[in-house]
Structure 1
């Protein structure tokens, strides 16, 4: 694996494609870096999200674990109080933030921070950040080595009985509560740190709204960029180990692992390994370049993603396999769909990120497993904007403005299909995800229209489909 050298290199003719931002482009960036208008329904909307989403997470977990996956509800007006009493009992007894959950969840946080600080990695330069005077930040991309050290450590601890992997899924509710406490604490804490250090930006002036959207753009502890660390090291590592824990639970109780649970182990490994092996692509994304680090992102990485994306694992770990057994052709179709969608998703993301790196003069790309064919567009076509940026119109990006979103959603759908019609709850991920993607695209396209003006119209003519080619 490469060491700490940078990927930046001149082209063979000695010239570079260093990013050039016109004066007009800089003025537009300044406009975009100012607070615009309320999103998500403003202060009351984000407050409803901050309260309602944790409640929904608890409710769906209780339905899966204790009510056979059925959406339990009061059967009459007289049943409302007993129903709420049952819910409260489950929270107090089965989702209390117990010592096991504090040790495991907090231990993972500090272990991942330690690995991010000390493990060797690949130094990648990010895009010029307008709010920092177009300064570029360096990122030590060591998620891949950290991931496999984590996997090896967990395997050794489980083998010698020091830490039982199956215990993770058994303590799902307790861990979820601790994750929520961490999510809220970090969200408010990082807000107050930004205010105290004067690093806040694009503020609305409303406390709750600004905590939700975030105050700072690139908070760091030493060499660790917290926003990128949380996106890769927290959310998807927990997702993967919840699936592994479910498999271990099945092996302990059944003596084997079902194809459905193996599917979830493969699917979650695809995701975490892709994020880790392509970590150097993350600094090129809007998440790092523009999105502030607030509750919307923090809580989602600490609690939302890990504990609302793998409901199929929760169901399978607590139910007999006969409830979700498929025929062999169905399993083949399911696995084939996942692998095909993953291939397009992985290569589409790589094509976009490599193209952005090329505009900075980077022509040698990191080689990590698995390197998929088609991950770089040779002789890419693009729209040159007056702003200075280039908009890719080649590779997968000739077919759709968001091809990665389309196949990402298809993968999320398979995470529900893996249990068939046994319960609707695991389909929450795909339903919620498509809502988020549509909203995110609206924000992104609106921002691009302001940023690129007529050049955005040219781009939309070249790539007319927002999502699905020839359909939408």
Structure 2
């Protein structure tokens, strides 16, 4: 069954034409939504007549060329962060975590140097120092959103191509279809590394969420310079993105236990979304707040209390759910001592867990959060987040109310991806575990939302 999972059998995402459409459509959509937010008051502008189509497209193109050109500032900032994060990953000490046995490597386990948390602290101190001494002003990041987004897209396309060609030239490609477009999109290599840095895990944590957080911080800095204060809405986004980023660092040792690490290839699907998609389409609420007067999205005190409470509750479920499953997997490997980082939340380890033993040799957890839903949450898994994560994504849009529909893109996009990911996961588990998967589904009845789906 494991061998079958490492062989290309069917096309996903609509095959070569489907992935070509995705690679074309999403960059265009990202430009369009940003232009609507920044220049058209958050409204979804469109041609009003057939005669207006050409002028409309020309206006859009001019915005991209003038306001989103890959200028020198954007190259310096994006490349500087890219190189800085890679350097920190190489030189800083970290927690050594053994990954799961990789079938395509003859069930060899790889070691991962988990130093994202120390990298985060160094990044915070460095950025604060540069900002304080006016060497690099954080306020400028949000003002150069379009320019940075263009550079990020170029990085996404280029790194995907370089990684693909390197895998083919070195004979390390796996699960290939034979179609260039499709293999470029899905990826050719499984575990690319530079020195002791696993690029797939590094790119999942260090690039997207660092940018997301600093975009929110930049929005806060801009508000403070303009109005002399930071709105509760912007503070909400700084807290929300900060929690997410810190979670990536404090729970990084859980990532090697995920499907993403030992099965998902590193191609355009993952690379582009980590380098450009996540950081420049998840925080549209920050873009809106940075370009609009605070009076347009002010709430009552009770509303703020409810929103902050919902965020923190969803975060607790999201954090502890995958911690339970990841540490359960570690226990099956004989690992009983777990890393302690801040904040260490109660309930992150299931005591005396129940599970289903499979003929494959794996154990499927049926206690803790995982007794209620097969996918109650997911922990910093790029495109693949579930109930608690989706709730947080919805709150990221709701923090600006109904002023614009665009900040809700993150949560709407996630619903679509989430359903698709569930299907992919369950199909692979059905192949891998056979009758044991049916036994598991009989015990844990709901795929996603307990009592509903």
Aligned pairs (5 A) from 1:53-72: 53-72=26-45
Q: Partner residue of 2:254?
A: 281
Q: Partner residue of 2:360?
A: 387
Q: Partner residue of 1:309?
A: 282
2:306 & 2:234 partners in 1: Cα distance? 16
Give per-residue Cα distances to partners, 1:100-144, cap 9 Å, x unaligned. 000000000000000000001000000000000000000000000
Q: State the SS of the aligned residue for 2:206.
A: helix
Q: Partner residue of 1:15?
A: none
Give per-residue Cα distances to partners, 1:370-426, cap 9 Å, x unaligned. 000000000000000000000000100001000101111000000010000000000
- How far residue 468 of structure 1 moved from its aligned partner, in angstroms, is 1.2
2:306 & 2:337 partners in 1: Cα distance? 37
Q: State the SS of the aligned residue for 2:336.
A: coil
- How far residue 469 of structure 1 moved from its aligned partner, in angstroms, is 1.0
Aligned pairs (5 A) from 1:31-430: 31-404=4-377, 405-430=386-411
2:82 & 2:237 partners in 1: Cα distance? 23
Q: Partner residue of 2:383?
A: none
Q: State the SS of the aligned residue for 2:353.
A: coil
- How far residue 228 of structure 1 moved from its aligned partner, in angstroms, is 0.2
1:29 & 1:271 partners in 2: Cα distance? 33
Q: Partner residue of 1:4?
A: none
1:50 & 1:148 partners in 2: Cα distance? 35
2:443 & 2:188 partners in 1: Cα distance? 36
Give per-residue Cα distances to partners, 1:230-269, cap 9 Å, x unaligned. 0000011100000000000111111100000000000001
Q: Partner residue of 2:381?
A: none
- How far residue 471 of structure 1 moved from its aligned partner, in angstroms, is 1.2
- How far residue 203 of structure 1 moved from its aligned partner, in angstroms, is 0.2
Give per-residue Cα distances to partners, 1:445-468, cap 9 Å, x unaligned. 000001101100110011001111
State TM-score, norm by structure 1: 0.94
Unmatched segments (≥5 aa) in structure 2: 378-385
2:205 & 2:69 partners in 1: Cα distance? 27
Q: Partner residue of 1:431?
A: 412
Higher relative contact order (CA 8 A, sep 6+): 1
Give per-residue Cα distances to partners, 1:346-389, cap 9 Å, x unaligned. 00010010000000000000000000000000000000000000
Unmatched segments (≥5 aa) in structure 1: 1-27
Q: Partner residue of 1:456?
A: 437
1:327 & 1:471 partners in 2: Cα distance? 32
- How far residue 433 of structure 1 moved from its aligned partner, in angstroms, is 0.7
2:58 & 2:22 partners in 1: Cα distance? 23
RMSD: 0.4
